[in-house]
Amino acid sequence: MTDARFPERWLNDKRVVRLNDSAFRTFVTTLAWSVSNRTDGVIELDDLDLIHGADPAAAQALFAAGLWSPVPGDRPGDGHQGTSPSRVRIEVFAETQTSSHELEVLENVRRRDREKKARQRAKTPAPANPASTVSPGTPSPGTVPRDSTGQEGQEGRQALEGRGLQVVPDDPSIGWPPVQQPATEGACRRCGGSLPPGLVTLGRTEHVGACV
The domains of the chain, with CATH numbers, are 8-101 (1.10.10)
Q: 3-class secondary structure for 20-72?
A: CHHHHHHHHHHHHHHHHHCCCCEEEHHHHHHCCCCCHHHHHHHHHHCCEEECC
pLDDT at residue 70 in the model: 94
Average pLDDT by stretches of 10, the chain with 212 residues: 87 95 96 93 93 94 96 58 76 91 83 88 77 59 59 64 57 57 68 73 71 66
Task: Give the integer Cα–Cα distance in Å for 55 and 65.
Answer: 16
Q: What is the DSSP letter of 37?
A: H
Task: Give the integer Cα–Cα distance in Å for 27 and 41.
Answer: 11
Contact indicator for 205, 183 with CB cutoff of 8 Å: yes
pLDDT at residue 190 in the model: 73
- Answering whether pTM is above 0.75, one says no
Task: Give the integer Cα–Cα distance in Å for 154 and 162.
Answer: 12
Q: Is 69 helix (H, G, I), strand (E, B) or coil?
A: strand
Task: Give the integer Cα–Cα distance in Å for 90 and 20.
Answer: 17
pLDDT at residue 78 in the model: 42
pLDDT at residue 148 in the model: 60
Contact indicator for 46, 106 with CB cutoff of 8 Å: no
User: In Å, what is the CA distance from 157 to each residue of 151, 161, 171, 181?
Assistant: 10, 6, 14, 23
pLDDT at residue 123 in the model: 86
Contacts 24+ apart (CB under 8 A), 135-144: none
pLDDT at residue 169 in the model: 57
CA atoms within 13 A on the CB side of 140: 4
50 alpha carbon, distance to own chain's centre: 41
Longest dimension (CA), the chain: 141
pLDDT at residue 81 in the model: 45
